[in-house]
Structure 1
Amino acid sequence: MVRNFLLIARLTASFTHHRSTPIQLGSMLQHKHNASIFFFNSFTSGISSDSESDDENHHKGDTFTVSYLINSWGLSPRRAREISNRINLKNPDGPNAVIDLLNNYGFEKTHLAKLVERKPSVLLADAENTLLPKLKFFRSIGISNTDMPKILIASHNMLFRSLNKCLIPRYEILKSVLRDKGEVVRALKNAPFSFTYGDMMKRLVPNIRVLRESGVPQGSISYLLMHSGTLAYRDHSKFVEAVNTAKEFGFNPLRRTFVVGVEVLAIKRWESRFEVYERCGWNREIALRAVRKFPSVVKLSEEVFIKKMSFLVKDMGWPSEDIAEYPQVVTYNLEKRIIPRFSVIKMLKSKGLLKNNLHFSGIICITEAKFLKKFVISFQKDLPFLPDFYNSLANQQNVL
């Protein structure tokens, strides 16, 4: 293309060295016209050539990015192509350094695939200066290689937050409301996103203060942060409202069920649950008693609660008031626990092997090991097929 410009320059210069006669002028104009066409064609040809070259190089880059993401990061071809539209890798050096570093902190290929799907820019991160300091810090506070991928995949931006301005101060605040490093790690595992972005000074700290002022012991506070951590980062006014409602419902702040009650009463439209309970035979007094005993019953959807109560009351013949005395029964899996166990009991009764009436809590609420020993293994001599019968029911894939 440079040669074209030089040639055009020479042609133009040659025109200026001749005196203009009418014939010469016409000839020169024709030459200029031809030169202009030549210039335009040469220029556009150069652009087209350069553009095609750029497209070809970009396509090669895309091809490399896709194959690299598939082979090194374990992505599916479809996801690799999607990510290649957002990030174009020139060479594998930087991403390979990221892989090597993450491998040292417990990341396997499946973890790498999940991480890059959620945060493609991790491919371009500076392994030594951006990622390594955070990984060292997380390990220093007790996060194991087993937990590291889980936490960082759940809250991938943690790797890109400031260590000194964000992560360390947040860790210190969380540590101040818990008892030791172990609890901090468990709380961080439970709510990594809240740890990264939650408003600690306007939500977490005042919410914990309200619990302490209400007489909630440290053990219950630790339990809340380690099992339902996002609740502690709720809007302060809504959190206070849930605490006050729990008190009105009669939850005892000295018991762990109080913080569980606060959690379920923070659920939107929880009041509508009591309408469902009434349709299933629990009046408000019975329902409140059941919720106080086992607050997690409120977490069940309307459909699931009705289906389980229908089976227990209509098919098994249990009074709904009795179920309210053991509300945890309703939270057990219908297909994998309740139906298989009662099928075994029904089988034993039909064979005359069980004569005493058993309370449902002694069938449903006991551990799996105890149920097997008491109702399956003990009768295996009489019914050799009983273990297979029970296992075939318990291992069904239909889950509630």
Structure 2
Amino acid sequence: MGSARTALSKLPLRRRAAGEGFAAGRQAIRSLPSFTEAPPSGAGGDSLVRRRSSLANLLQRYGFPSSTLTWFIRCNRFLLDSEQDDVQRCMKVLLSFGLSQDSLVSVVSFCPRVLELGFLRRWELAFSQIGLSPVPPFMVQRILEQSWRCRIEPEDVRRSCQALSQAGFCKRTVAKVLEKLPSTRMNFPGINRRLGFLKEIGCSKEEIDRIVFSFPGFLGLSLELRLQPLLEEFRELNLEDDEVRKSLIESPRALLTMQTGELPRCVEFLRSLKCRLPIKDRILCEGPVRASIRVKLRVDLLCRHGLIRRDAFKVLWKEPRTILYELDDIQTKIDFLIHTMGFGIDWLVEVPEYLGVNLQKLVVPRYNVIEHLRSKKALGFQVDLRLLIKPSRNKFYNMFVKPYPDCEGIFGGPPGDANPKRRHPAGLWTLFKPPAYPQTKEDVRTMKLFMESLVNP
């Protein structure tokens, strides 16, 4: 300690002052009272404890978890100054919106001001004036949760609802938009300009309503930065408006969220595929736009698991059958690869065939054989994904199953034991058997005379 003081005394004046200030700050921090200290004794302290206990009991009765009550009350001390009857009235108003117990706790946690009676009465009046009857509970939950953080006022919700109704949307679509975009301030001119993008493609009023209901985020997209460049790409690729319109109705989110240049890249990728003609015909049978959407969704799925976009396109290019498979099937294979077999997602770049084979018929039996041999310590080398997937059934059987008879039942027997699938029903050959005609003695005598004439001309 003495050496530290000596070293401090040798420092320049500014550095010494900083060191002394730091030490004084640490001493001041030590002297601060902690939150866990007991409240002051006396009538005021007892009253504070009673109010805190009463408020905690009230919140706990409405489903608030007891583990977070102390922290919640400490962070929102205004509740201790509120009347308990007012807090209870706020709870009843929230329940009158149709909120479940979990939704009620979520709203109170995200926006504690809903326990102020005046604040909540303003929102109650706003929900009664927006023209939606009944008001969807989930929409109320989303708006109230975002009201404090995004500074949403009841008047903002009324204006947005009025603009959506003026644009011609049905009540179900209006509720969906307010539920998904509670913090977006909407006006009729802005909505009308975005709807002009859909009308230029040829969408009818009912189709526009369906698209916005499926993807409310469309009304939050930038017209200059996203929608107009996408329309120009449609024109440059010479895509038919009818095909684009049908693709928008089926998958609005996937098509409208494409970045600039993503659609031309997917179309060019599809044109460069080198695979069997039947597979390519199945991929492009619904048109290049829908095929590009399928490519985008599968690339996004692979990227969410850690692949870069270039490697994701490479996987699809090497194994085009992946474009035809459903996303749930691809997700199941990836989960089995990562969580069960313990391989990284990068292995798909080296072995893209993994996504094209049958998981239950090929991958699972081989993996079970390898795990059985590994548990017996019968493997003298590491079996990677390449050695697990690429060998044929006969080669894998000769390498890992045939030398170990106990693996026969796990693998399912040798390849030749499987009964080949019949191409035709049993007994079908009898239908093609020529009819038999009875031979008379005259026919036999005629045949003999004919044969003798050939021998003795």
Q: CA deviation at 1:355?
A: 5.9
1:198 aligns with 2:188: no
Deviation sequence 1:105-163 (CA, Å, 0-9, x none): 2112111101011111101133883243234346x52445xx41x21222215699665
Conserved 8 A contact 2:103-2:141: yes
The residue aligned with 2:132 is: 141
Higher Rg of the two aligned structures: 2
The 3-state SS of whatever aligns with 2:97 is: coil
1:71 aligns with 2:61: yes
Could you tell me which runs of 5 or more consecutive residues in structure 2 were left unpaired when the two chains were aligned.
Answer: 1-38, 275-279, 337-356, 366-411, 424-457
1:185 aligns with 2:144: no
Match of 1:207 among 189, 194, 200: 194
Q: 1:67 to 1:208 in 2, by over 3 A?
A: same
The residue aligned with 2:387 is: none
Following superposition of structure 1 onto structure 2, how do residues 3-152 of structure 1 map, counting pairs within 5 Å? 57-78=47-68, 81-89=71-79, 90=81, 91-126=83-118, 129-137=121-129, 140-143=131-134, 147-148=136-137, 150-152=138-140
Q: Distance in 2 between matches of 1:236 and 1:202?
A: 12
Conserved 8 A contact 2:64-2:105: yes
Q: Distance in 2 between matches of 1:303 and 1:161?
A: 35
Q: CA deviation at 1:227?
A: 1.6
Deviation sequence 1:7-41 (CA, Å, 0-9, x none): xxxxxxxxxxxxxxxxxxxxxxxxxxxxxxxxxxx
The residue aligned with 1:248 is: 236
Q: CA deviation at 1:178?
A: 3.8
The 3-state SS of whatever aligns with 1:107 is: coil
Q: Distance in 1 between matches of 2:69 and 2:240?
A: 51
Could you tell me which runs of 5 or more consecutive residues in structure 1 were left unpaired when the two chains were aligned.
Answer: 1-48, 357-400
Q: 1:335 to 1:246 in 2, by over 3 A?
A: same
Q: 1:353 to 1:104 in 2, by over 3 A?
A: farther
Q: 1:251 to 1:67 in 2, by over 3 A?
A: farther
Q: CA deviation at 1:80?
A: 5.1
Conserved 8 A contact 2:176-2:213: yes
Q: Distance in 1 between matches of 2:102 and 2:273?
A: 47
The residue aligned with 1:44 is: none
Q: Distance in 2 between matches of 1:306 and 1:291?
A: 26
Following superposition of structure 1 onto structure 2, how do residues 290-305 of structure 1 map, counting pairs within 5 Å? 291-293=289-291, 295=293, 297-299=295-297, 300-303=300-303
Conserved 8 A contact 1:178-1:184: no
Q: 1:78 to 1:129 in 2, by over 3 A?
A: closer
Q: 1:302 to 1:50 in 2, by over 3 A?
A: closer
Deviation sequence 1:70-102 (CA, Å, 0-9, x none): 332423522651353224324321121122122
Deviation sequence 1:297-334 (CA, Å, 0-9, x none): 42424436898xx99x99xx99734554x3xx252343
Match of 2:203 among 209, 216, 228: 216
Q: Distance in 1 between matches of 2:207 and 2:172?
A: 16
The 3-state SS of whatever aligns with 1:103 is: helix
The residue aligned with 1:230 is: 217
The residue aligned with 1:391 is: none
Q: Distance in 2 between matches of 1:353 and 1:169?
A: 69
Residue type at the aligned position of 2:93? L
Report the number of matched residues.
289
Following superposition of structure 1 onto structure 2, how do residues 241-280 of structure 1 map, counting pairs within 5 Å? 241-254=229-242, 255-258=245-248, 260=251, 264=255, 266-268=257-259, 271=262, 274=265
Conserved 8 A contact 2:111-2:147: no
Percent of residue pairs bearing the same amino acid type:
11
Q: Distance in 1 between matches of 2:41 and 2:88?
A: 31
Q: Normalising to structure 1: TM-score of the pair? A: 0.55
The 3-state SS of whatever aligns with 1:100 is: helix
The residue aligned with 1:373 is: none
